[in-house]
Amino acid sequence: MVKSNQTRSRWQRFLDNDIVYSFFTTPGAIIAASITLIAITATFAAPLIAPYNPFDPAQISLWDGKLPPAWTDGGSSAYLLGTDNQGRDMLSTILYGGRISILVGIAAVFLGMLLGVTLGVISGYFGGLTDTIIMRIADVQLTIPGILVAILINGIGRAALPLELREEFAIYVVIVAIGLTDWPQFARVARGATLVEAEKEYVQAAKLIGLPKFTIILRHILPNTLRPVLVIATIGLALAIIAEATLSFLGQGIPPTTPSLGTLIRVGNEFLFSGLWWITFFPAIALIILVFSVNLLGDWMRDALNPKLR
């Protein structure tokens, strides 16, 4: 094993890595990663690639409202996926809306991860009373399902804001609400991994060198807890996107002025009975594909990073 390793290039070593290998031999993982990547690029490049700017009143004409998709009767080739009740191009609104959904999802997961991993690692490494308090809070919060906590925090956040600021700050309230909902999961996983790592002999060796606790946590323990955290973060991203969509659908999330996918579905839902199916259908499909590919990625990651399954 030791022989002739240095003759191989970095790239060959990278390809030889078991996880990289597993990625390139799992079609689902490649598809999921591609879709996720395309979705993120497309939505973030929305101002460049979207045919219209749905927020520019000059580009919206009510005359073009409620047009069905281009390939159906009455559809216009100018609007591939049709238009909504206000005459906005569906494809463009979906691209812009997807951007908000992804942004909120990533920001919320990041917040939850930051909070959860910090508290979890501290809890696991120091133990004792700190651990008891942090984990009790996490346990109490975990007793109540996430979506309910998110609705509640979100509701309190909105109510605490003055009326005139509610719309403007809605997106931040949603991010904080979902982030605060997510942290116990991260805390648990990070704490579990920390407990395992802290018992390992390399950490004891680091203590004998005389390294300060903070250095041991940052240099030795944290990097070794990241694998399970990454899995939770990926699955958490899918859940966060769903949570945002759900809040917005319930009318508690992102306002219709800067709609996310969930807001679009909520708006479209009102026109479902009158047969204007495309106003709901396309945002819903976009949301499902996005969440599904993130989930698929998380699913693969969980299997690939679990040494027991290999």
Partner 1 sequence: MAPLLLAGLMFYFIINRLAQALLVMAVVSAISFSLFNFVGDPVNNMVGQDATREQRVEIRQQLGLDDPILVQYQRFMLNVAQGDFGLSYRIKQPVSQLILEKLPATLELVFASAVIAVFLGIVLGVFTGIRRYSWVSKTIMSVSLIGVSLPTFIIGIGLIYLFAVYLRWLPSSGRAGVIEIGGWKTSLLTIDGWRSIILPAITLSLFQLTMILRLVRAEMLEVMRSDYIKFAKARGLANRAIHFGHALRNTLVPVITIIGLNIGGLIAYSVITETVFQWPGTGLMFIQAVDFVDVPIMAAYLIFVALLFVVINLIVDILYFVVDPRIRRGGS
Partner 2 sequence: MNNLLEINNLSVDFPSRRGQVTAVNKVSISVAKGEVLGLVGESGAGKSTVGNSVINLLEPPGYISGGEIIFDGTRIDQMSNEEMRKIRGAKIGTIFQDPQTSLNPLMTIGKQLSETLVETLKISGSSARQKSVELLDSVGIPNPVQRLNAYPHQFSGGMRQRVVIALALAGDPDLVIADEPTTALDVSIQKQILDLIKSLCKQRNLGVIIVTHDIGVIAEIADRVAVMYNGQLVEEGKVKQVLQKPKHEYTKSLISAVPSGDQKLDRFTVVDYIDGSEEKVTLTNVSEHWLSQNKSSQTHNTAITVKNLSIEFSIKQALLRKNRLVLKAVDDVSIDIQTGESFGLVGESGSGKSTLARLIAGLYTPKSGDINIFGHDVLQRSQKAKTSLIRRKMQMIFQDPYSSLNSRMTVEDIVSEPIRFHRSTANSNETSKVVKDLIAFVGMPISSIKKYPHEFSGGQRQRISIARALASRPEILICDEPTSALDVSVQANILNLLKDLQEELSLTMLFISHDLPVIRQMCDRVAVMQNGKICEIAETDKLFDHPEHEYSKHLLGLMPRMDLFRL
Closer to partner 2 by Cβ: residue 24 or 172: 24
Q: Which of 148, 165, 205, 218 binds partner 1 (CB under 8 A)?
A: 148
The sign of the torsion formed by the CA atoms of 135, 139, 140, 146 equals: positive
Give the footprint of partner 2 on this chain (CB under 8 A).
1-2, 5-6, 21, 200-202, 204-211, 215, 220, 223-224
Of 210 and 275, nearer to partner 1 (C-beta) is 275
Query: What span, in angstroms and rounded, lies between the C-alpha atoms of 227 and 87?
Result: 46
| Of positions 110, 169, 271, 292, contacts partner 1 by CB under 8 A | 292
| Closest approach of partner 1 to the CB of residue 12, in Å | 32
Q: Are residues 244 and 253 in contact, defined by beta-carbon separation less than 8 angstroms?
A: yes
How far apart CA 41 and CA 54 sit, in angstroms, is 19
253: DSSP letter: S
Site string for partner 1, 223-252 (x = CB under 8 A): ---------------x---x--xx--xxxx
CB of 66 to partner 1, least distance (A): 17
Rounded-to-integer distance, Cα 11 and Cα 139, Å: 44
The structure tokens listed for 283 are: 């945002």
Are 68 and 274 a contacting pair, CB within 8 Å?
no
Which one, 83 or 252, has the nearer CB to partner 1?
Answer: 252
CA distance 238 to 169: 23
Token readout for 177 is: 């609400």
Q: Which does 277 bind (CB under 5 to 8 A by kind): partner 1, partner 2, none?
A: partner 1
Choosing from 11, 143, 164, 307, the residue that interacts with partner 1 (CB under 8 A) is 143
Nearer to partner 2, 144 or 205 (CB): 205
In whole angstroms, how close is the CB of 145 to partner 1 at the nearest point?
Answer: 3
- In angstroms, what CA-CA distances link 76 with 79, 81, 85, 293? 6, 9, 15, 31
* First vs last C-alpha separation in the chain: 20
- Partner from partner 1, partner 2, none binding residue 143, C-beta < 5-8 Å depending on class: partner 1
- Partner whose binding site includes residue 89, from partner 1, partner 2, none (CB under 5 to 8 Å by kind): none
For residues 101 and 261, the answer to whether their CB atoms sit within 8 Å is: yes
| Adjacent-strand bridge partners of 83 | 89
The partner in contact with residue 238, picked from partner 1, partner 2, none with C-beta cut-offs of 5 to 8 angstroms by kind, is partner 1
Per CB under 8 A, contacts with partner 1 among 250-289 are 250-252, 262, 265, 269, 272-273, 277, 280, 284, 287-288
- Helices of type H across 161-212: 163-199, 201-209
CA distance 277 to 50: 22
What are the DSSP calls for 67-80, one per residue? PPPTTSTT--TT-T
Nearer to partner 2, 18 or 270 (CB): 18
List of residues contacting partner 1 (CB under 8 A):
136, 139-140, 143-148, 151-152, 155-156, 159-160, 238, 242, 245-246, 249-252, 262, 265, 269, 272-273, 277, 280, 284, 287-288, 291-292, 295-296, 299, 308
